[in-house]
Amino acid sequence: MSQLSQPRKPDLLLNSVRREAIAGEPFADHRKLKVCVLAACPFPANHGTPGSIRELAEATAERGHEVHVVSYHMGDNLPLHGVHHHRIADWTGERRVVVGPTRRRPLYDFQMIFTAMHVMRKYKLDLMHAHGYEAAMVAGCVRPFVRRPVLYSAHNSMGDELASYDFFRSRKLADMLAWVLDNTVPRIGNRCLPHSTNLQEFLLAKGLASRSEPVLNFGIDVESLPVVDRAKLRTQLGLGDDPIILYSGVIDKFQRLDLLLEAMVHVLRVEPRAKLLIFSTIQHPKHERALLDEAARLGVDRSLILRVPSDMEKGRKLISLCDIAVVPRPSAPGFPIKLLNYMAASRPCVMFASSASRVNHGEHVWLAAKDTSESLGGAIVQLLKNRELRHRIADGGHRFVCEHHDRRVVSGHLVEAYTKMLKQTRHWKQVAQRPAAVPVWHKEKQQELALAGYLQGKVEIHATA
């Protein structure tokens, strides 16, 4: 069943300079498009991929386009603004949000084929935007019946991730399946859209240069960043003034929190008061127990604080507590959404150089040169020792997010990719006859001008009287 959330209340305090700059972009007069976004996952959900899908879908809708999201039946209780949401039927009663493969996911993917086909036909949509591997396979099954193009969004590769979930008993079998998926699934899309330079290189290495778009940054709503009193929040949580190193996100093995725990051994030798604060965005007792056991083995358990925020907004606010935020995964193929959240909260960030995509060492982040815990610990210590450097990187990272990851600008480039793909199809003749999409902020500006004119008229009439 389609669910269209209520539009966000107009923000009359939106910076007028930024609004005019966005409104004047060359892609501001696109024809109105009707898009089916395939999210083969719990949605909406408070972690990486579902979070990035939500931001792109909402921002595309804000541009005046019709957006329908097809997803699994479960998800977190998060608002969706201006987006039609269609969930598959709840056949299993499963509610828990899980990252990675499960025994029931093939069933959910199979259900998505028929739900997506129904949505495409009922609402006469123009294209399918498939986020990730399973969504691409769903789109590949639907396309022959609806005859609409597919844009494949590359969020990750399977070669460095699938085996880490411990879903398969045989590591060799997992690696073989990952190889097959990496070499076939991206080819399903009429066009491929990488979300990091690492993924762009991955697609090029697979021989997909002719159908690959330029890198599309993930976007966030920079107008809704939480304002937090850090000192007050620290006092409320009893953290005092000890140095806080933070990780926020899922705690599955592929995130390599083992490297972060090992790095803390080196950090504590220099700064014994330091604390490692881990915010797990998805509750997972097995992984939490493993983290605590590993911390005890390394002797850093007294410096570890593990929390599970009750909702996304609270989690975003808690990021502001830390002195340093860390992305501990080396050679990450995608652009970590957690990094955007860190930088948006003006926190200085440490990550491995092998995972860096379009961020500069010493300007936006601080990079650990080698993919080792010693190198990561050394980078953290360098920042802890230099307050001025922390402030400089925090400011630089915040500017980087506002300049390159504002979802309003990112969505413009996404619609450009949609339009480019549709122009190569016969269906474009129908799309071209539609009126131009009218972004929400244009409507808001018109409302403000009308209100200003009305108030001015009242003042003039009153003065005349």
Asked if 147 and 126 touch (Cβ cutoff 8 Å), the reply is: no
Beta pairing partners, 327: 351
Question: How would you write the pLDDT of the chain (465 residues) with one tens digit per residue?
Answer: 444 433 333 333 344 445 445 544 555 568 999 999 999 999 998 777 888 899 999 999 999 999 999 999 998 888 899 999 999 999 998 887 777 678 899 999 999 999 999 999 999 999 999 999 999 999 999 999 999 999 999 998 887 766 666 667 777 888 888 899 999 999 999 999 999 888 999 999 999 999 999 999 888 888 776 667 777 878 877 788 889 999 998 888 889 999 999 999 999 999 999 999 998 877 778 889 999 999 999 999 999 998 876 566 666 778 888 899 999 999 887 788 889 889 988 999 999 999 988 899 999 999 999 999 999 999 999 999 999 999 999 999 999 999 899 999 899 999 999 999 999 999 999 999 999 998 887 666 555 556 556 566 654 444 433
pLDDT of residue 365: 96
Distances (CA, A) of 36 to 50, 256, 295, 357, 434: 15, 34, 44, 28, 18
Asked if 328 and 354 touch (Cβ cutoff 8 Å), the reply is: no
CA-CA-CA-CA torsion sign (452, 20, 404, 62):
positive
pLDDT of residue 30: 84
- Distance CA(247)–CA(257), nearest Å, equals 9
Helix, strand, coil tally for the chain in percent (to 5)? 50, 15, 35
CA 180 to chain centre: 26
Beta pairing partners, 306: 278
- Distance CA(20)–CA(34), nearest Å, equals 25
pLDDT of residue 156: 85
- Distance CA(119)–CA(122), nearest Å, equals 5
pLDDT of residue 381: 97
- Distance CA(159)–CA(152), nearest Å, equals 18
Beta pairing partners, 246: 277, 325
Could you give the count of Cα atoms lying within 13 Å of 450 in the half-sphere of its Cβ? 6
pLDDT of residue 145: 97
- Distance CA(222)–CA(402), nearest Å, equals 6
pLDDT of residue 41: 92
pLDDT of residue 47: 73
Asked if 308 and 291 touch (Cβ cutoff 8 Å), the reply is: no
Amino acid found at 433: Q
Nearest to 115 by CA among 144, 148, 138, 81: 138
SS3 of 295-322: HHHHCCHHHEEEECCCCHHHHHHHHHHC
pLDDT of residue 453: 60
User: pLDDT per residue over 419-465, tens digit each?
Assistant: 999 999 999 999 999 999 988 876 665 555 565 565 666 544 444 33
